[in-house]
Amino acid sequence: MQLVQLLVPITSIIFGVSFVTVLVWLKARRREREAFYKSETIKKIAETSGTGASGALEYLREQEKMAAQRRREGLILGGMVNAAIGIGVMVFLYELVPGRPIYFVGLIPLLIGVALVAYSYFLAPKEARASS
């Protein structure tokens, strides 16, 4: 009887780990396929004519701008989520332990969030502006 009780958690852990492993592998395989097709398409565009090469370069520049914009927006979102978590932890701990200043622990995620947002606005590389 005790073996059956242990069998359920063990098999669920094994299946869970296996499922996550397969998902990670599939995601990596999909990204690899997308990168291959993208490089093949750019190669074909560049080989077609003289204007194709400039079109391929313009396409690459536009893709880089969009990727930089997504990274920057991700940093801002992550910073705002961290700051909100920090504020929530501070309020929760202030109400949980009213006589002690334990709520200052919430400053850790709050300041991490502020640092992420500040980095994304002031220090992160900006998109390259086309001067031509």
Q: What DSSP string describes 33-68?
A: HHHHHHHHHHHHHHHH-HHHHHHHHHHHHHHHHHHH
Q: What is the pLDDT of residue 76?
A: 94
- 1 membership: H or E segment, kind and range: none
pTM listed for this prediction? 0.62
Distances (CA, A) of 86 to 4, 12, 102, 118, 120: 43, 34, 13, 16, 19
> Domain segments of the chain: what residues?
1-48, 65-132
The DSSP symbol for 88 reads: H
Are 111 and 82 in contact by the 8 Å Cβ rule? The answer is no
16: tokens are 């869970």
Residue range 17-29, pLDDT digits in tens = 999 999 999 999 9
